[in-house]
Chains A and B, each alone.
Chain A
């Protein structure tokens, strides 16, 4: 028995029986193909990150009043 024959014989011991494969198939197709709840929009993270970045930039910008007070004086 060559190594290929031995591997083929081993493969035969781990294959799923046809009835099991057919049972699994039937179980799957018995479920609704398209779940009614669409779930979370896959783009939620992109929208969230963009909004978060926008708010962060806005919140760190100095108001004109504060910008005047914080302007560098040029001396230590």
Chain B
């Protein structure tokens, strides 16, 4: 397999999960895209190191780069990302055209807000599962934590989202004042 074909295989196989990881870290999908590009730039430049590894080894290598990169850059950008999230810059779904679509879009917006309020570790884990398509074993290997920890974080995150949705589904008179 030539170098570019091997790189394309890695890029297509891991880009969604890497992007989801950075969405979890930054709560900003465009910032996440920049960081994802940086990770795959390093993959491209150091491809010979990866070609001999197993699929799990390649994932671990890629996410080690991603974690190191996020440590390097995330601290500097955290306050700015938080400010953008606070201003509501997170992209929202297309405008709905019917009542059911309005409700669905509102529920998605509630999920998005609930996810942004999660502690970072839970948010990252959930993003990798829901948007990255990884199972708990794969997330554990990528993050370097036990699979039980991943399942616990997912459970807490899902509970928080379920609570937010249940709160939304209640009739307005029954909702707790905020």
Closest residue of chain B to A9 (Cβ to Cβ) is B108
Which B residues are in CB contact (< 8 Å) with A31? 41, 44-45
Q: Which of B11, B32, B92 has the most CB of A within 10 A?
A: B11
CB within 8 Å of A: which of B1-35?
3-4, 7-8, 11, 15-16, 19-20, 23, 29, 32-33
Interface residues of B, dominant DSSP: helix
**For the complex, is A1 an interface residue (Cβ under 8 Å from B)?**
yes
Which B residues are in CB contact (< 8 Å) with A66? none
A28→B93 CA distance, assembly (Å)? 29
Which A residues are in CB contact (< 8 Å) with B32? 14
Q: Could you pull out 11 A-B pairs where Cβ atoms are within 8 angstroms?
A: A6-B111, A7-B126, A8-B130, A11-B131, A12-B93, A16-B33, A24-B40, A29-B4, A29-B7, A31-B44, A34-B45
Beyond contacts A3-B161, A3-B165: 9 other A-B pairs, Cβ-Cβ < 8 A, are A7-B130, A10-B131, A12-B93, A16-B16, A21-B15, A24-B33, A25-B40, A29-B4, A34-B45
Chain A residues in the interface with B (C-beta under 8 A) = 1, 3, 6-16, 20-21, 24-25, 27-29, 31, 33-35
Chain B residues in the interface with A (C-beta under 8 A) = 3-4, 7-8, 11, 15-16, 19-20, 23, 29, 32-33, 36-37, 40-41, 44-45, 47, 90-93, 104, 107-108, 110-112, 115, 126-127, 130-131, 158, 161-162, 165
